[in-house]
Every structure is written in C-alpha cells, then in structure tokens.
C-alpha cells in the first residue's frame, strides 16, 4: 500500500525541504497529500506492475532524508538495496527486501562543505556493485567536480579513489580545458571496468582488472562514437557477445561498442535515457523525461511504463517546476526516472531526480 502521511513522513518532508530548498521554502512539501487510496498499475500484458511509490520511506530514521534528489539504485547478493542521493546525514541508504532501513554510509567520502553556509552537503549519484574474489564492492560516482570515483566495501570502507588529478595523469584526453564530474561506472567480463565522466568531459575511461588505465572512449559530439552526457552504461551480452552499451542522454540515444572501444551501432527513439540495467533478455532504460522503457533481446521496445504525452508536457514545463512540487505528482505517473534496476524476481526499483527524492517499487503482477 502507498504510505500514509504520518508524523514520521512529515518529519522527513520538513527535513528534506529544509536541506534542498532552504528555510522558508517548505509549503509545497508540507502540503503533500495522499491522492489515491488504490495502488496504481502501470504497463500491460506481460509487463504489468503495481506501482508502490515512496517504498521504504517510512522506515528512514529521524533526521535521514533524500534532500534534493534520489539518484542511483543497486542490489547486492543478499538482496539489500543501495540508494544514492543528495540528502543526509550520509549519501547512501541501504534497505532490506521489505523496505526496512538497514544502514547509511558514505558521509566522509562524499561530502563537500558549502562555503556560504559552512554546512556539509552529501553527493550520491552512480552506484554499481560487483563481486570480486568472493567479496562485493561498491563503485561510486558522486557527480561533484571536487570529488572522485571511488571503490568501497559494502560497509563504507574506501578501497581506492580517482579524482580529477589522478584521471588526468592516467588518461591522454582529460586536460584543464575539460570538466570533470563523474556519473556512473560499469563492468567488463574480464574483470576490468569503465568510469563514466558523464557531466564532465563526455568520456568513458576504461581500466583493466589491475586498475591500469587502458583507453578513453567517446568525447563530446553528436557523431557515432561521441557523446553528449554519457550518463550511464552497462555490459550487454544478451546475444552471447559482450558489448558496452551507453545511455547517451542529451543525444537521446543508446550506443553500443565492442570490448576494444569500437562503435558498433546507435539506436534512437529515446527522450533522455539516463541509465541501463539488464536481466535475462530484457534491457531496462529509465528515461528522465517521465517514462521507463523495456527492450527485448532484439532491442525492440516491448513496454514504455508511464508514457503519457500530456503528463510529460507538464513535467517538462519549467514554469511548473514539477520536480519540486510533490503535491502535483500523480500516482502511477513518473516525474524524472534517473536510475532503475531489476530485483531477482523481476520487480523494478526506480529512483527519481525530484526534490525530497522518490523511490518506487514496480511489483510485477503478470
């Protein structure tokens, strides 16, 4: 069921609003109301889901909030869900499969002091998890030019970090004229990985399993093989041949590359694709412009959850500023899907780029 607006929820909204918008800017958050008692359903046929908005919200301890946005989602082998955000007191919240808060982490590694307020601001963005020699690790991208890519244990112990200076030294493309602002990471089948500078230089940086720099892929542009905000990426081996697929967000497309970085194909038809997840033959693409797309093994669209042109016009209307007006959000409608992933049962978890954050569980019903 959709959570009631109880006292703990009100405390959450007040804390989140104060953090994200500043004192005196709370009315739209505090007027949030339950708008529909029924659980909305999205999709159809094989791809039908019950939409449980604000999943896990009521279990957040007092003082914990998502702030200006929820950003990334990833599961570990135990079924724990890791959610990155711009709230506090730390940048990653962890939930069990029932939506109960387990722990938070990332405070010291991903916080920056605001020079005006002298307060600490947490930055959580891309989060991906991989098992290496029987141990799982977080690969994190905090979308702040003063921070860094990082590898951490599931309990928050820092293994390594790559800041701008380090990436400049390693690569032959990042220089003082290019921005640096990490967004996501992804993994290769040989133990290597990619670090994506999606808000910065528009390059992906490839490393081998021993953390040695191999190559840079992309660069700014609109031609095949170039990017305009390579916001997320993933390993696509659904046809038996491993490939890198990139959500080239501002170019409104996906691009595929072979394991040596050669461009293979481009697929248009997206609005603002933000990231990618794959389960079996299905590819999941959260689109920042108010919908979630599912592709089959042949990369044909089989579902577009929440797709509604009239609603999207409202979401994208800058005069409305939908992301900061929780009271305008409608059950079963998405505002800004920023990341999404499957759980082991085929349910979908979606984090949205909205003030106060929103995590929705799409429970598969057929």
Residues 295-323: pLDDT tens digits?
999 999 999 999 999 999 999 999 999 99
366 domain-assigned? no
Residue 125 lies in a domain: yes
* pLDDT reading at 46 higher than 70: yes
Tokens of 125: 């963005």
Determine how β-strand 148-153 pairs with β-strand 158-163.
antiparallel
- In this predicted structure, the answer to whether residue 107 has a pLDDT above a threshold of 80 is no
Rg (CA), the chain: 19
User: Does residue 33 fall inside a structural domain?
Assistant: yes
Could you tell me the pLDDT band of residue 349, with boundaries at 50, 70 and 90?
Answer: very high
H or E element, residue 101:
strand 101-105
What digits encode the pLDDT tens for the residues 227-286?
A: 999 999 999 999 999 999 999 999 999 999 999 999 999 999 999 999 999 999 999 999
Which structural domain range is residue 291 located in?
7-350
For the chain, the domain total comes to 1
87-107 average pLDDT score: 95
CA dihedral 14, 20, 23, 26 (to 10 degrees): -50
In this prediction, residues 25-35 reach a mean pLDDT of 36
Any domain includes 187: yes
- ω into residue 89 within 30 of 0, thus cis? yes
Looking at residue 290, its pLDDT comes to 98
DSSP-derived 3-state class of residue 310: helix
Rounded average pLDDT over 104-123: 85
CATH number where 143 lies: 2.120.10.30
**36 has a pLDDT exceeding 70:** no
Pinpoint the alpha helices (H) of the chain.
7-21, 27-30, 164-170, 309-316
Does 365 reside within a domain? no
Largest CA distance in the chain: 56
Over residues 54-58, mean pLDDT: 97
Domain assignment present for 74: yes
Contact at 8 Å (CB) between 285 and 270?
A: yes
Residue range 32-56: mean pLDDT, rounded: 82
Confidence label for 121 from pLDDT (cuts 50, 70 and 90) = confident
Which pLDDT score is estimated for 114?
79
Please, which pLDDT band fits residue 172 given cuts at 50, 70 and 90? confident
Structure-model confidence comparison of residues 32 and 160, the more confident one: 160
Task: Note the pLDDT tens digit of each residue in 181-228.
Answer: 999 999 999 999 999 999 999 999 999 999 999 999 999 999 999 999
Residues 324 and 354: their CA atoms lie apart, in Å, by 6
Cβ atoms of residues 142 and 91 within 8 Å:
yes
314 within some domain: yes
Averaged pLDDT, 124-146: 97
Q: What percent of the chain is modeled with pLDDT above 90?
A: 84
What's the token pair of residue 83? 């959610």
Average pLDDT over residues 108-115: 82
In angstroms, the CA 142 to CA 166 distance is 16
- Alpha-carbon distances of 34 from 12, 201, 205, 222, 322, rounded to whole Å: 15, 42, 44, 43, 17
Taking CA atoms, 231 is separated from 213, 254, 261, in Å, by 20, 11, 17
* Closest by CA position to 363, among listed 37, 66, 98, 71: 98
- Average pLDDT on 105-111 reads 83
Residue 362 lies in a domain: no
Q: What is the structure's pLDDT at 318?
A: 97
pTM for the predicted model, two decimal places: 0.90
Question: CA angle, 139 as apex, 295 and 109 as ends, to 5°?
Answer: 135
pLDDT at 116 over 90: no
Q: What share of the chain is helix, strand, coil (3-state, %, to 5)?
A: 15, 40, 45
pLDDT at 130 over 90: yes
Mean of the per-residue pLDDT values of the chain = 91
């Amino acid at each position: 069921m959709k959570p009631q607006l109880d006292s703990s929820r009100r405390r959450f909204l007040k804390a989140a609003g104060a953090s994200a918008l500043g004192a005196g800017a709370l009315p739209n958050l505090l007027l949030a109301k339950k708008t529909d008692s029924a659980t909305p359903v999205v999709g159809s046929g094989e791809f039908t889901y019950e939409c449980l908005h604000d999943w896990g919200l009521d279990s957040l301890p007092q003082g914990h909030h998502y702030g200006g946005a929820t950003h990334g989602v990833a599961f570990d082998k135990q079924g724990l869900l890791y959610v990155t955000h711009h709230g506090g007191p730390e940048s990653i919240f962890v939930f069990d499969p029932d939506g109960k808060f387990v722990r938070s982490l990332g405070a010291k590694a991903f916080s920056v002091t605001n020079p005006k307020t002298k307060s600490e601001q947490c930055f959580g963005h891309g989060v991906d998890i991989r098992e290496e020699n029987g141990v799982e690790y977080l690969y994190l991208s905090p979308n702040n030019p003063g921070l860094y890519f990082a590898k951490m244990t599931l309990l928050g112990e820092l293994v390594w970090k790559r800041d701008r200076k380090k990436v400049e030294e390693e690569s032959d493309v990042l220089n003082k004229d290019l921005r640096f602002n990490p967004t996501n990471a992804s993994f290769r089948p040989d133990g290597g990985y990619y670090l994506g500078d999606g808000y910065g230089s528009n390059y992906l940086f490839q490393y081998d399993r021993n953390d040695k720099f191999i190559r840079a892929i992309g660069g700014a542009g609109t031609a095949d093989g170039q990017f305009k905000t390579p916001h997320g990426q993933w390993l696509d081996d659904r046809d038996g041949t491993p490939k890198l697929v990139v959500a080239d967000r501002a170019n409104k497309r996906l691009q595929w590359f072979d394991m040596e970085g050669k461009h293979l194909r481009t697929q248009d038809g997206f609005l603002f694709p933000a990231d990618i997840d794959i389960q079996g033959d299905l590819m999941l693409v959260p689109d920042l412009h108010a919908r979630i797309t599912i592709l089959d093994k042949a990369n044909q669209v089989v579902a577009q959850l929440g797709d509604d042109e009239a609603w999207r016009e409202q979401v994208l209307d800058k005069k409305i500023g939908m992301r900061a007006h929780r009271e305008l959000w409608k059950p079963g409608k998405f505002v800004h899907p920023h990341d999404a992933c499957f759980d082991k049962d085929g349910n979908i978890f979606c984090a949205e780029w909205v003030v106060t954050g929103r995590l929705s569980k799409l429970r598969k019903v057929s």
